[in-house]
């Protein structure tokens, strides 16, 4: 930054501070309850977490018991609470149980008071009244309607309606309002140039399925509703600003803005929000300005720093995406100044709203505008209602025009907004906190953020990085990066890969035995389940003689493979992972066509296959190192593992690459040669294992590809005496059959067979009475109907507590109605076709059964014509004893049960033969702890979907009739494929024993 300008900014800033000296935002007033909350939160991270979480759940605590229970669960007994929380209650405590109620009422009142600080009203009438009050104080407003997450078309419509109602009210009201003072004299405008009505709209509130995967669909749907609000706004000459939300929707929102901008090119008052904390924002802003100039349209940008820093960082790290936001606060501040300048330089085509509470930022904009000679009607200042009162007062003094961002609406969504504000104010880097709660040096607060950023970056870079230890010289395991549909290249890759794959249909896929391809006479075609007439390929089928050959090949390969060093075996897996990564879009495309996976699900399956390869490779290196047991001198005891023998891998079609690859690679890397039988309906995907392992150079006979008819060769393979290990994933019926048959030890059999069986599930999700429905509804829908519910982990029972049943179900059903069923290759569809004809018939039968046992609440339309279509089905009034509550349907059928309380919900959840996955949505610490112990499933998920377990992070598998207690992708998994051995050497000879470094020794 130019030195002179920076000096002027600093002088301006000092003046600004001087002008508000001694004033404090109400938020930091320690005399008030809210100020105490802020104070404690800043001093005590644990209290802050509990407090903010409590604020979040607070609106659902609609009765005294819920309220007092949660207060205890979040803050402990009264004696453990901060004094300001418990005051009053302590006194009241003397009157027995009345104490809790009194405490609850006091806290409740205080939180509501706190919320009102930031919210301009609970309804349109209140809001309008308050806006008028603010205008009398000299403040303009931008009005935002708070809402729960939009989960349905109905909710989107209600949202639109609220805006239209608001505009209607304001239309009448604005006539009565004098324009705020300013240069111009037009009474109809504020400050002589600005519409008196100014609203902000969140785009994702207009379409519940907004999703970058379905980019075009999302843009179109949002645009349609946004335009209705815009038209009404235009009618009254108002200003509409399109809010920016999370990074995920950024490209969609920009596109909506551009399209609306072009379509209504002559109406000037249409703006968009850009977020300075996004690393993309320099480029996005430059492109937008260039686009505006090229198209000759007027733009308006409200520049903010961004309010979802935690969320964006966490999401990116969870998915292994590049973090989209600046990770040093000052970097965002610097970006803001840089980008503000860019807008001001383009003030001829772009109006600017500077939305910041940071006095350095504001001073910088003031001085930059002055330097560039920007007319006052081309920029304005915005501040959040209820925050930073001294700052808004200061700006009013110096610039004469401040617009307050005024949300209004219900308590429930209001709490989310409140938590964001509390977070902002209590963050260590918060300008307000530093300025008003900590009295930081003015110099430091006004420093050029570019310099601050550079200093902090160099401090950070100088610190030693915490690195997790890897094994065998490899970096530590990381999950494969998730597909990122915010990236245009990822979006484009799918149609392209699908088209390419379509160019290769109709081939014949051979067996691979002992390194040789074998073509059989018997073949089975595989087809596109959304269009069965589309034959994808012909899969050769192994008979008994081919199975014998494969076993012979595996047996021949065994001794050398067993004695191959673990690190070397792991290397083949790493190579295979590399190959799969290279082919990931192509492999995903095959899944879209052969088994009807949605794009993201297809990609996730391939990614999981890669994860298994990478994870098991490392696990084998870890287990491959003999472990010294005991430390007595004079003896060495090494505990180590060796493979069990020949492995039969019998794979399902639902995770056709991931589960196949997981089971096969675990067997291979532990030293067990494999005879692999894929599912008949995903033969091409099964063949991909042969391709990948072949290219990786696995020695002949270590992996043998033998698809075959179960009736012909299934039992034969299971019974074969040379097989020592069977890894199976599939239905309970087949699994138990294998367990029983394989237990018979036949003549000449070397080992008792080890069975790793992953079987079915009848997985329940519990909706607690304090659940966050905004989260619960879409997660349940996804858990139940993602990939047509054809996951052993899928939610197939939904247990909703009576207290929230009506509200939750209403929203769930509404969201379900918003979805469509159709070919998976079109990302607009939420659900595709089911696996095959047999699956379709079986699921339809269950729907028939369910419709008799309970009441069909929803059954979606399905496409006309060919394809294995089953409606998305939700059946209510199901009781634990119903077949629909007990039997695995393995399709898009959700059985809904209404439980009277949490105890009953847990009891029902545990009431099946299965124990695979489960979920609860709850914000009660006690209920979460209780579920952790008592909801006895292999994988329990709290407040998220219960599918999509990731390797390492969610080792997957269940007990009871869901499996034999193994956990794929977990730290114990490889143990099941090996036998431990112990080598004991007496190292003492002639009374002389060498001392080992880790001996227990006398000195």
Q: Does 629 bind its own copies (CB under 8 A)?
A: yes
Q: Does 565 bind its own copies (CB under 8 A)?
A: no
Catalytic residue among 148, 614, 758, 888: 758
Contact 955, 970 (CB under 8 A): yes
Give CA–CA dist 404/380, Å, rounded. 11
Binding mask 405-434 for its own copies (x = CB under 8 A): ----------xx--xx--x-----------
Q: Minimum Å distance from CB 57 to its own copies?
A: 8
Using DSSP, state whether 539 is helix, strand or coil: strand
Q: Give the nearer residue to its own copies in terms of CB position, either 70 or 392.
A: 70
In this chain, which of 739, 807, 836, 856 binds its own copies, going by CB under 8 A?
Answer: 739
Contact 339, 364 (CB under 8 A): no
Q: Which of 55, 91, 109 is nearest to 772 (CA)?
A: 55
Q: Minimum Å distance from CB 933 to its own copies?
A: 7
Would you put residue 584 in left (φ > 0), alpha (ψ -120 to 50) or beta? alpha
Q: Minimum Å distance from CB 718 to its own copies?
A: 12
In this chain, which of 472, 633, 710, 863 binds its own copies, going by CB under 8 A?
Answer: 633
Q: Minimum Å distance from CB 640 to its own copies?
A: 9
Q: Give the nearer residue to its own copies in terms of CB position, either 2 or 467.
A: 467
Using DSSP, state whether 386 is helix, strand or coil: coil
Q: Minimum Å distance from CB 856 to its own copies?
A: 31
Strand 754-758 to 723-729 pairing: parallel
Q: Does 44 bind its own copies (CB under 8 A)?
A: no
Q: Minimum Å distance from CB 41 to its own copies?
A: 12
Q: Does 566 bind its own copies (CB under 8 A)?
A: no
In this chain, which of 23, 30, 44, 49 binds its own copies, going by CB under 8 A?
Answer: 49
Q: Give the nearer residue to its own copies in terms of CB position, either 94 or 1003.
A: 1003
Q: Give the nearer residue to its own copies in terms of CB position, either 6 or 924.
A: 924
Q: Does 291 bind its own copies (CB under 8 A)?
A: no
Q: Minimum Å distance from CB 244 to its own copies?
A: 14
Q: Minimum Å distance from CB 458 to its own copies?
A: 13
Name the residue with tokens 């104490």.
99
Q: Does 581 bind its own copies (CB under 8 A)?
A: no
Contact 659, 956 (CB under 8 A): no
Establish whether 758 is a catalytic residue: yes
Per the structure block, which two tokens stand in for 24? Answer: 């404090």
Q: Does 697 bind its own copies (CB under 8 A)?
A: no
Q: Give the nearer residue to its own copies in terms of CB position, either 535 or 629.
A: 629
Cβ-Cβ contacts under 8 Å for 339 (sequence gap 6 or more): 274, 276, 281, 282, 285, 303
Q: Which of 366, 467, 403 is nearest to 141 (CA)?
A: 403
Evaluated on CA atoms 983, 984, 988, 990, the torsion sign reads: negative
Q: Minimum Å distance from CB 941 to its own copies?
A: 5
Catalytic residue among 406, 792, 795, 888: 792
Q: Minimum Å distance from CB 314 to its own copies?
A: 4
Give CA–CA dist 873/434, Å, rounded. 54
Q: Minimum Å distance from CB 791 to its own copies?
A: 16
Per the structure block, which two tokens stand in for 50? Answer: 């509990």
- Give the DSSP letter of residue 713: I
Give residues 982-1001 in contact with its own copies (rule: CB under 8 A).
Answer: 982-986, 988-994, 1000-1001
193 HSE (CA, 13 A, CB side) = 12
Contact 359, 435 (CB under 8 A): yes
Give CA–CA dist 872/857, Å, rounded. 11
Contact 942, 919 (CB under 8 A): yes
Binding mask 440-479 for its own copies (x = CB under 8 A): --------------------x-------x-----------
In this chain, which of 60, 162, 204, 954 binds its own copies, going by CB under 8 A?
Answer: 954
In this chain, which of 52, 267, 385, 431 binds its own copies, going by CB under 8 A?
Answer: 52
Q: Give the nearer residue to its own copies in terms of CB position, either 463 or 521.
A: 463
CA 607 and chain centroid, separation: 16
Give residues 308-327 in contact with its own copies (rule: CB under 8 A).
Answer: 308, 310-311, 313-315, 317-318, 323, 327
Evaluated on CA atoms 504, 506, 511, 515, the torsion sign reads: negative
Q: Which of 776, 736, 772 is nearest to 755 (CA)?
A: 736
* Number of Cβ atoms within 10 Å of the Cβ of 838: 11
Q: Does 883 bind its own copies (CB under 8 A)?
A: no
Q: Does 974 bind its own copies (CB under 8 A)?
A: no
Only segment of 32-40, 437-445, 536-544, 970-978 that touches its own copies (CB under 8 A): 970-978
Would you put residue 965 in left (φ > 0), alpha (ψ -120 to 50) or beta? left
Q: Does 560 bind its own copies (CB under 8 A)?
A: no
Whole-Å CA distances, 839 to 309, 467, 684, 798, 870: 44, 47, 19, 22, 9
In this chain, which of 568, 631, 852, 879 binds its own copies, going by CB under 8 A?
Answer: 631
In this chain, which of 534, 913, 926, 930 binds its own copies, going by CB under 8 A?
Answer: 913
The CA-CA-CA angle for residues 677, 679, 685, to 5°, reads: 90
In this chain, which of 742, 767, 818, 878 binds its own copies, going by CB under 8 A?
Answer: 742
Q: Give the nearer residue to its own copies in terms of CB position, either 171 or 943.
A: 943
Q: Does 1002 bind its own copies (CB under 8 A)?
A: yes
Binding mask 718-737 for its own copies (x = CB under 8 A): ------------------x-
Give CA–CA dist 617/572, Å, rounded. 8
Only segment of 647-655, 696-704, 854-862, 956-964 that touches its own copies (CB under 8 A): 956-964
Q: Minimum Å distance from CB 332 to its own copies?
A: 14
Contact 834, 788 (CB under 8 A): yes
Give residues 767-826 in contact with its own copies (rule: CB under 8 A).
Answer: 772
Give residues 608-627 in contact with its own copies (rule: CB under 8 A).
Answer: 627
Give residues 493-552 in contact with its own copies (rule: CB under 8 A).
Answer: none
Torsion angle in degrees (nearest 10) through CA of 92, 97, 98, 102: 70
Q: Minimum Å distance from CB 566 to its own copies?
A: 13
Q: Which phi and psi angles does 559 have, rounded to 5°? A: -55, -45
In this chain, which of 745, 841, 848, 903 binds its own copies, going by CB under 8 A?
Answer: 745
Q: Which of 290, 298, 285, 284 is nearest to 349 (CA)?
A: 298
Q: Does 952 bind its own copies (CB under 8 A)?
A: yes
Q: Does 928 bind its own copies (CB under 8 A)?
A: yes
Per the structure block, which two tokens stand in for 676? Answer: 């692999």
Cβ-Cβ contacts under 8 Å for 605 (sequence gap 6 or more): 588, 591, 597, 655, 656, 657, 658
Establish whether 354 is a catalytic residue: no
Give CA–CA dist 418/411, Å, rounded. 10
In this chain, which of 481, 637, 819, 886 binds its own copies, going by CB under 8 A?
Answer: 637
In this chain, which of 17, 321, 639, 716 binds its own copies, going by CB under 8 A?
Answer: 639
Residues that bind its own copies (rule: CB under 8 A) add up to a total of 102
Reported residue count of the chain is: 1003
Name the residue with tokens 């977020």.
275
Q: Does 571 bind its own copies (CB under 8 A)?
A: no
Contact 684, 525 (CB under 8 A): no
Only segment of 25-33, 93-101, 484-492, 963-971 that touches its own copies (CB under 8 A): 963-971
In this chain, which of 553, 649, 956, 974 binds its own copies, going by CB under 8 A?
Answer: 956
Strand ranges in 390-452 using DSSP code E only, listed in sequence order? 402-408
| Catalytic center residues | 758, 792
């Amino acid at each position: 930054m130019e030195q002179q300008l920076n000096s002027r900014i600093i002088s301006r800033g000092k003046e600004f501070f001087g002008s508000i000296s001694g004033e404090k935002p109400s938020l930091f007033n320690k005399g008030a309850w809210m100020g105490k909350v802020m104070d404690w939160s800043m001093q005590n991270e644990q209290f802050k977490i509990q407090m903010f979480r409590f604020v979040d759940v607070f609106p659902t605590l609609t009765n005294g018991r819920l309220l007092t229970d949660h207060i205890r669960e979040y803050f402990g007994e009264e004696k453990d609470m901060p004094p300001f929380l418990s005051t009053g209650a302590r006194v009241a405590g003397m009157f027995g149980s009345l104490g809790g109620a009194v405490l609850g009422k006091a806290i409740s009142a205080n939180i509501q008071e706190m919320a009102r600080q930031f919210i301009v009203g609970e309804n349109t009438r209140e809001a309008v009244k308050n806006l008028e009050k603010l205008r009398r104080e000299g403040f303009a407003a931008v009005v935002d309607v708070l809402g729960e997450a939009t989960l349905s078309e109905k909710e989107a419509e209600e949202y639109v309606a609220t805006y239209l109602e608001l505009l209607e009210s304001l239309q009448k009201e604005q006539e009565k309002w004098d324009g705020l003072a300013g240069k111009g004299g037009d009474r109809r405008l504020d400050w002589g140039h600005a519409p008196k009505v100014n609203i902000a709209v969140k785009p994702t509130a207009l379409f519940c399925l907004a999703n970058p995967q379905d980019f075009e669909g999302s843009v179109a749907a949002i645009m349609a509703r946004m335009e209705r609000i815009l038209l009404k706004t235009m009618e009254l000459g108002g200003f509409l600003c399109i809010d920016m939300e999370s990074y995920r929707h950024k490209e969609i929102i920009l596109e909506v803005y551009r399209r609306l901008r072009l379509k209504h090119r002559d109406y000037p008052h249409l703006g968009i929000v850009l977020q300075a904390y996004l690393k993309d924002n320099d480029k996005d802003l430059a492109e937008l300005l260039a686009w505006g100039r090229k198209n000759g349209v007027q733009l308006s940008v409200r520049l903010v720093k961004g309010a979802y820093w935690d969320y964006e960082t966490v999401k990116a790290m969870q998915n292994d995406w590049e973090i989209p936001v600046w990770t040093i606060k000052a970097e965002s501040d610097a970006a803001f100044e840089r980008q503000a300048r860019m807008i001001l330089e383009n003030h001829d085509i772009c109006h600017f709203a500077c939305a910041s509470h940071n006095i350095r930022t504001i001073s910088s904009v003031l001085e930059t505008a002055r330097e560039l000679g920007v007319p006052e009607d081309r920029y304005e200042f915005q501040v959040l209602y209820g925050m930073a009162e001294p700052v808004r007062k200061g700006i009013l003094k110096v610039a004469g025009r401040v617009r307050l961002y005024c949300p209004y609406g219900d308590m429930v969504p209001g709490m989310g907004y409140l938590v964001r504000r509390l977070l902002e104010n209590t963050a260590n880097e918060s300008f307000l906190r530093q300025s008003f709660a900590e009295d930081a040096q003015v110099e430091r607060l006004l420093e050029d953020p570019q310099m601050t950023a550079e200093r902090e970056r160099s401090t950070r870079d100088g610190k030693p990085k915490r690195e997790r230890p890897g094994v065998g010289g490899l970096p530590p395991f990381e999950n494969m990066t998730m597909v990122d549909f915010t990236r245009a290249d990822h979006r484009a890759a799918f149609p392209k890969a699908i088209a390419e794959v379509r160019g290769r249909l109709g081939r014949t896929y051979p067996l691979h035995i002992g390194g040789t391809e074998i073509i059989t006479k018997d073949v089975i075609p595989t087809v596109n389940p959304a269009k069965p007439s589309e034959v994808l390929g012909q899969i050769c089928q192994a008979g008994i003689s081919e199975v014998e050959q494969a076993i012979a090949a595996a047996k021949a390969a065994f001794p050398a493979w067993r004695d191959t060093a673990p690190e070397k075996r792991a290397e083949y897996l790493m190579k295979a992972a590399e190959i799969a990564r290279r082919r990931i879009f192509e492999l995903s495309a095959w899944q879209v066509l052969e088994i009807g996976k949605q794009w993201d699900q297809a990609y996730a399956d391939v990614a999981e296959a890669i994860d298994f390869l990478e994870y098991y490779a490392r696990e084998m290196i870890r287990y491959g190192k003999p472990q010294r047991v005991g430390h007595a001198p004079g003896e060495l005891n090494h505990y180590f593992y060796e493979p069990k023998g020949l492995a039969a891998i019998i794979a399902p079609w639902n995770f056709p690459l991931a589960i196949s690859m997981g089971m096969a690679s675990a067997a291979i890397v532990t030293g067990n040669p494999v005879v692999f039988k894929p599912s008949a309906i995903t033969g091409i995907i099964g063949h991909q294992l042969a391709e990948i392992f072949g290219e990786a150079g696995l020695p002949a006979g270590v992996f043998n590809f033998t698809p075959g008819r179960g009736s012909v060769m299934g039992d034969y393979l299971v019974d074969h005496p040379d097989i020592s290990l069977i890894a199976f994933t599939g239905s309970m019926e087949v699994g138990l059959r294998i367990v029983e048959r394989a237990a018979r030890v036949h003549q000449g059999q070397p080992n008792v067979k080890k069975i790793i069986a992953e079987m079915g599930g009848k997985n329940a999700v519990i909706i607690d009475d304090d659940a966050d429905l905004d989260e619960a509804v879409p997660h349940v829908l996804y858990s139940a109907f993602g990939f047509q519910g054809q996951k052993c982990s899928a939610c197939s029972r939904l247990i909703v507590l009576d207290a929230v049943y009506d509200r939750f179900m209403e929203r769930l059903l509404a969201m379900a109605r918003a979805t469509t069923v159709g070919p998976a290759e079109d990302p607009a569809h939420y659900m595709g076709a089911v696996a095959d004809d047999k699956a379709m018939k079986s699921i339809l039968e269950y729907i028939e059964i369910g419709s008799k046992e309970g009441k069909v609440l929803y059954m979606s339309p399905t496409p006309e014509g060919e394809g294995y279509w089953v409606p998305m089905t939700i059946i209510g009034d199901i009781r634990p004893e119903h077949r629909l509550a007990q039997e695995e349907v393995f399709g898009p059928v959700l059985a809904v049960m209404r439980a009277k309380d949490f105890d009953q919900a847990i009891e029902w959840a545990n009431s099946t033969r299965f124990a695979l996955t489960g979920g609860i949505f709850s914000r009660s610490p006690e209920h979460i702890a209780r579920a952790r112990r008592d909801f006895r499933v292999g994988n329990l998920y709290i407040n998220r979907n219960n599918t999509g377990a990731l390797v390492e992070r969610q080792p997957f598998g269940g007990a009871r009739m869901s499996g034999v207690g193994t956990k794929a992708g977990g730290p114990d998994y490889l143990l099941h494929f090996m036998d431990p051995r112990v080598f004991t050497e007496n190292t003492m000879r002639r009374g002389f024993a060498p001392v080992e470094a880790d001996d227990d020794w006398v000195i």
